[in-house]
A and B are shown apart, each in its own frame.
Chain A
Amino acid sequence: MTEEKVIIAGFGGQGVMLMGQLLAQAATHEGMHTTWFPSYGPETRGGTANCSVVFDNHPINSPVVSVPDSLLILNHPSLAKFQGKLKEGGVLVVNTSLVEEKDLRDDVRIIKVDANQKALEIGNLKVANMVMLGAYVKASGIFSRESLLKVFKERFTGEKQKLLEMNTRAFDAGMELAAD
């Protein structure tokens, strides 16, 4: 594969950083080179948060992403901030629960995911990020479902083990939405 550069953005508390880390970890399992770089400003819960993730079969130079190949947008302010950077024909996964569709670009491949709604149906708003992640994994075709599930198992251990099932369901729901 050639280099894949991703920016994931939303507000603090949506699990944006975790999404990036899960992808990077999955890439490591698949033997790829990968970097994850957070914006580590004073943002906390409620503020905006974003991270850059890069995957490649070759060593990666800059972990800083200026022109992403794919963009995962979890809220409207993030759309305004990052949409313009997405390369022409790139993949834009948007959380339509929190993003106004009329503002979307028309020269990119758009994957609309009603992530919050789907998460509520599954039982917890917090897994909206996993719905988004599933949609991206399906749309990009870079990772196998198995790699991600392996990462989930590594992440959700101990007290968090009870979260494994719900997160997996949300992830699968996202994959399904992107397949439509």
Chain B
Amino acid sequence: MSRVLMKGNEAMALAAIKGGCDAFFGYPITPQNEIPEYLSEHMAKEDRVFVQAESEVAAINMVYGAGGAGARVLTSSSSPGIALKQEGISYLAGSEVPCVIINVMRGGPGLGGIQPSQADYNQITRGGGNGDYHLLSYAPENLQEAVDLIKQSFDKADAYRNPVMIAVDGLLGQMMEPVDLERTPDSKQRERKEWATDGDAGRRGKANTIVSLHLDPNKLEEHNLALKEKYDRMVENEQRYERLETEDAELVFIAYGSTARIARSAVESLREEGYKVGMIRPITLWPFPENAFKKLPDTVHTLLTLEMSLGQMHQDVKIVNQGRYHLDLYARTGGVVPEPEEFIEKAKAILKKEDAA
């Protein structure tokens, strides 16, 4: 198979199968329904597990069970559903059970709307459940990248024994684009997970337990510090980003996911008109790609965060910036997808002000 035209949600579902996903547990919510719909058919054809749970809460706890039993597991949902899943996500992280979670974001808070949004940034990067934990989270910009990242995410989840979240918005989930499913290698069958509660205690002569309960605060702190050491390794090794036209840029956009696609258009138009504009595109939301902000050229004077949420990522830009550059934010929210013209206008206003100064 070379390039095929697929809808985002279907492409992500198929990528999960190719990533070696053994089981899917989910609950319907717009705009990600094509994922369970696609998998209900194709997981069965592959003789793998598909269960439509009675709620998001049940679904994530099924993920916890199947992941604990050593399987590669996927669930998907959208913002309010992800909020419901936070209980289980905290348990997964706390007891170090790997899984992959696809979040096709929509507007909030509450029931919000069903149009594309990035307002889950905090929910994704700050945890959303209780306790000190992090999810490795990828924010692809197009369907090819989504497919590549999802395939790899099962390996990453297993390697770190940690949940991995794929964060896209409704736009990427709903749009169609050609993808090459063979571009990245399919995941190979894995070895048995030594820690899993897979019911082989009799053969091993030693039972495994999977718990997140540690009643002695000193033991719990020790556990948390061990987790932190793991998260530190992720910060060290897993930061991913793209730098576009930053070599001589005066103004640098910071944008991810769909917003980055739109920002890319704006960069191209602005460059054609002679404006020195570039972009940093985080591919991992957590760990936030601090490295992308190192060694920026001296020409840079302003970083402009563009996001479909009211400055949630901008907080991370502020932390990374440490007072070096002027900062600005252009945000749309509630399901409104910005148009390149809006970014262009904002960029011109900033550059004009700089010239005047």
Is A–B contact present in the complex under a CB 8 A cutoff? Answer: yes
A residues neighboring B (CB under 8 Å): 21, 24-25, 28, 33-38, 40-42, 59-64, 66
- Residues on A with C-beta less than 8 A from B264 are 61-62
Query: How many B residues touch the partner, as a band?
Result: 20 to 34
Of the listed stretches B11-19, B60-68, B167-175, B197-205, name the one at the interface; the rest are far from the partner chain. B167-175
Residue of B nearest to A37 (CB): B175
With both beta carbons as reference points, the residue of chain B lying nearest to A63 in the complex is identified as B175
**Does B250 lie at the interface of the complex (its beta carbon under 8 Å from any beta carbon of A)?**
no
Shortest Cβ distance from residue A177 to the other chain B in the assembled complex, whole angstroms: 27
Choose from B5, B30, B31, B268 the contact partner of A25 (Cβ within 8 Å): B5
Contact of B177 among A34, A38, A42 (CB under 8 A): A34
Question: A161 CA to B170 CA in the complex, in Å?
Answer: 33
- Residues of A close to B5: CB separation below 8 A: 21, 24-25, 28, 34, 36
B113 and chain A: residue at smallest CB distance: A41
- Which listed segment binds A: B77-85, B221-229, B336-344? B336-344
A37-B178 contact in complex given A61-B261, A66-B341, C-beta closer than 8 Å: no
- What are 12 A-B contacts defined by CB distance under 8 Å? A24-B5, A28-B3, A28-B178, A34-B5, A34-B178, A35-B175, A35-B176, A40-B174, A61-B261, A64-B171, A64-B337, A66-B339
* B contact face: mostly helix, strand, loop, or mixed: mixed
Separation of A41 and B116 alpha carbons in the complex (Å): 11
Contacts A41-B114, A64-B262 aside, 16 further interface pairs with beta carbons under 8 A come to: A24-B176, A28-B3, A28-B4, A28-B5, A33-B177, A34-B5, A35-B176, A35-B177, A61-B340, A62-B262, A62-B265, A63-B175, A63-B261, A64-B171, A66-B339, A66-B340
Within B87-119, which residues are at the interface with A (CB < 8 Å)?
A: 114
Residues of B within 8 A of A (CB): 3-5, 7, 30-31, 114, 142, 170-171, 174-178, 261-262, 264-265, 268, 337, 339-341
Q: Which of B114, B178, B261 contacts A40 (CB 8 A)?
A: B114
Closest CB-CB distance, B196 to chain A, in whole Å?
39
Task: List the A residue with the shortest CB-CB distance to B340.
Answer: A62
Known A-B contacts A25-B5, A34-B5; the reply to A62 vs B339 at CB < 8 A is: yes
Q: Are B341 and A21 closer than 8 Å at their CB atoms?
A: no
B177, A36: Cβ atoms under 8 Å?
yes
Alpha-carbon separation in the docked complex, A150 to B222 (Å): 62
Given contacts A28-B4, A40-B170, A66-B341, contact A61 B178 (CB under 8 A): no
- Whether A37 lies near B265 (C-beta < 8 A) is no
Chain B residues with CB under 8 Å of A36's CB are 5, 7, 175-177
- Cα distance A60–B177 when bound, in Å? 9
Which residue of A has the minimal Cβ distance to B178?
A28
Give the distance in Å from the alpha carbon of A37 to the alpha carbon of B171 in the complex: 7
* B4 partner residues in chain A, CB cutoff 8 A: 28
Docked complex Cα distance between A77 and B30 (Å): 26
Instruction: Report the bound CA distance from A42 to B171 in whole Å.
Output: 15
Chain A residues whose CB sits within 8 angstroms of the CB of B175 once the complex forms = 35-38, 63
* Cα separation A41 to B265 with both chains bound (whole Å): 25
| Chain A residues in 8 Å Cβ range of B114 | 40-42
A151 CB, min distance to chain B CBs, angstroms: 9
Q: A25-B5, A40-B31, A66-B339 are in contact. Are A61 and B262 (CB under 8 A)?
A: yes
A32–B268 CA distance with the chains assembled, in angstroms: 19
Option from A37, A42, A66 in Cβ contact (under 8 Å) with B176: A37
